Amino acid sequence: MKMTQVPILITWDIDPNACFTVAQKRESLQAALNLCRESGIAATFFFVAQEAILYPSQIAEMKQAGHTIGCHGLIHGDDEEYIRMTREEQRAHIEQATRLLEEVAAVPIQVFRSPRVKVSSVTLELLAECGYLADSSVCSQRLDLLSSNPINVGWLTAPRLPYHPNRNSAFRPGDLGILEIPISALMLPFISTTMYILGLRVAKALFRILYIEARRRGKPIVYLAHPEEFGPQSWPVFRWSDLSLKSLRTHGLMIRKHWNESDPESRLQMNRALFSYMATFPDVHFVTMREYILQGDWS
């Protein structure tokens, strides 16, 4: 893709959170929307389909502001694991989630991010069949020991530039009719949690490296955050079941949540400072995922 500007894709995953009231969920999402408006950013919001009905006014605002609305799975439950579900289960989840979201948002749903960013070649093939233009679940060259997707060998060898995936592997280029737009990483992922744990200076340093790469190779910079991070935080009490094979396989080490910056206002200010910092670099252009796809020549 030839582009004189450095495309930056700010992406938000709207997950279910049993600790939040409906009002708190709406307030957190509104905080993310307000931040995008103040920063002059057109972003991409990935909704869990069964949660989207809670946000009628926020979705209307997104459409008015030109944000892209995408799918983040059907329920985001422990069993919605796209690397383990059968083809039939995946198809049912994707089709139902797409239908629900399109009914609520009244726009075509064409971009996807899987729950806990776990995706397979079967998932991508089904998404292409359902009319999706792009997925953003792969995190190329991310080495992660603590997240819900620890030590993903496929990530370490996946292309860094957007690519059409292989029919036999989500992490190799091929001819599937869908574009994989990787979440940015350089061993450390370019996500909000990295900033909350290691600090704003580290997030800025990581961006500077990604920016140099983007200028040289035309690679987009994809940042991931969650609106719920701007709501009241309640850390889960340790349970021995958190160390079970099923829990570790699904959620990783939950203790990582205790290392985050815990104050929601501080989190909001850190993201505001990071967005402002990114905007000072030459040729930076904030775009939605749909805009990015439509601007490119992917033939």
In this structure, of 151-155, 242-246, 276-280, 289-293, the range with the lowest mean pLDDT score is 242-246
Task: Return the percentage of the chain with pLDDT > 70, whole number.
Answer: 86
Q: Which of 17-21, 171-175, 239-243, 267-271 is predicted with the least confidence, judged by mean pLDDT?
A: 239-243
pLDDT score of 295 more than 70? yes
* Residue-level pLDDT at 142: 83
Place 18 in a pLDDT band, splitting at 50, 70 and 90. confident
Please write the tens of the pLDDT for every residue from 134-152.
Answer: 999 999 988 765 555 656 7
The distance between the two most distant Cα atoms of the chain, rounded to a whole number of Å, is: 52
Contact 67, 59 (CB under 8 A): no
**Which residues, in sequence order, are bridge partners of residue 6?**
284
SS3 148: coil
Interstrand relation of 134-135 and 185-186 (parallel, antiparallel or unpaired): unpaired
**pLDDT of 111:** 98
30-39, 56-65, 131-140, 255-264: which has the minimum mean pLDDT? 255-264
Q: 200-243 pLDDT, tens per residue? A: 999 999 999 999 999 999 999 999 999 999 998 655 555 645 55
**Count of domains forming the chain:** 1
Residues 6 or more apart in contact with residue 241 via CB below 8 angstroms: 247
In a domain, 189, yes or no: yes
In a domain, 181, yes or no: yes
Note the pLDDT of residue 154.
85
> What CATH number corresponds to the domain at position 280?
3.20.20.370
Predicted confidence (pLDDT) at residue 245 exceeds the cutoff of 70: no
Give the integer Cα–Cα distance in Å for 92 and 116: 18
- 15 occurs within a structural domain: yes
Cα–Cα distance, 31 to 229 (Å, whole number):
10
Amino acid at the residue 293? I
* C-alpha distances out from residue 165 to 108, 149, 180, 182, Å: 22, 19, 7, 11
* Better pLDDT: 111 or 145: 111
How many CA atoms within 13 Å lie on the side-chain side of 109? 30
Other beta carbons within 10 Å of 241:
8
Rounded distance, CA 2 to CA 217, Å? 9
Per-residue tokens: 163 = 């690519």
| Residue 1 lies inside a defined structural domain of this protein | no
Residue 139 lies in a domain: yes
Q: What pLDDT is stored for residue 250 in this prediction?
A: 47
DSSP bridge pairs for 221: 8
pLDDT band at 5 (very low <50, low <70, confident <90, very high): confident
In a domain, 154, yes or no: yes
Residue 284 has φ and ψ, to the nearest 5°, of -70, 135
> Given this model, what pLDDT does residue 2 score?
45
Q: How confident is the model at residue 251 (pLDDT cuts 50, 70, 90)?
A: very low
Domain that holds residue 84: 6-295
β-strands 134-135, 284-286 pairing: unpaired
Check: CB of residue 71 under 8 Å from CB of residue 123.
no
Question: What is the Cα gyration radius of the chain?
Answer: 18
Average pLDDT, the chain: 89
Asked whether residue 206 is domain-assigned, the answer is yes
238 assigned to some structural domain: yes
